Amino acid sequence: MVHELDSTAALDEAQRRLDRVLRSLGPPGSPRPASVSFSAGTGDAGDTDNPELGLLRELAQTRRGGALSFAAGSSAGAAADAEAEAGLLALSDRLRLSLRVDTPLPVPTGKDPAAAPLLASTRVTPGGDLNSVFRLPRTDDPEQRAALLEAHARALSLAIAQRQARAQTLLALAEMAAKIAAATAAGSPWLALPTAWRFLKRVQAERALHDDPPTPPTAPRARP
Average pLDDT, the chain: 75
Query: How remote is the C-alpha of 21 from its chain's centroid?
Result: 21
Provide the pLDDT confidence category of residue 6 given band limits of 50, 70 and 90.
very low
pLDDT at 77: 61
Q: What is the mean pLDDT of residues 143-149?
A: 85
pLDDT in tens, 99-124: 889 988 887 777 777 777 888 899 98
Burial environment of residue 52 by CB neighbours within 10 A (0 to 12, 13 to 18, 19 or more):
buried
pTM for this one? 0.69
Element (H, E) at 153: helix 142-184
pLDDT in tens, 121-131: 999 888 878 88
Measured on CA atoms in the order 166, 167, 168, 173, is the torsion positive or negative? Answer: positive
Task: Say whether pLDDT at 1 is over 50.
Answer: no
Q: Measure Cα distances from 174 to 34, 119, 126, 159, 168 in Å.
A: 29, 39, 19, 23, 10
Task: Find the Cα–Cα–Cα–Cα dihedral 40, 46, 51, 52, rounded to 10°.
Answer: 60
How wide is the angle at C-alpha 214 spanned by C-alphas 210 and 216, nearest 5°?
Answer: 130
pLDDT at 186: 67
End-to-end CA distance of the chain: 37
Question: Which position has the higher pLDDT, 60 or 191?
Answer: 191
What residues pair up with 122 in beta bridges, in sequence order? 101, 132
pLDDT in tens, 167-211: 899 999 999 999 988 887 767 788 888 889 999 999 988 888 876
Rounded distance between C-alpha atoms, residue 96 and residue 23, angstroms: 35
Count of beta carbons in the 10 Å neighbourhood of residue 114:
7
Provide the pLDDT confidence category of residue 153 given band limits of 50, 70 and 90.
very high
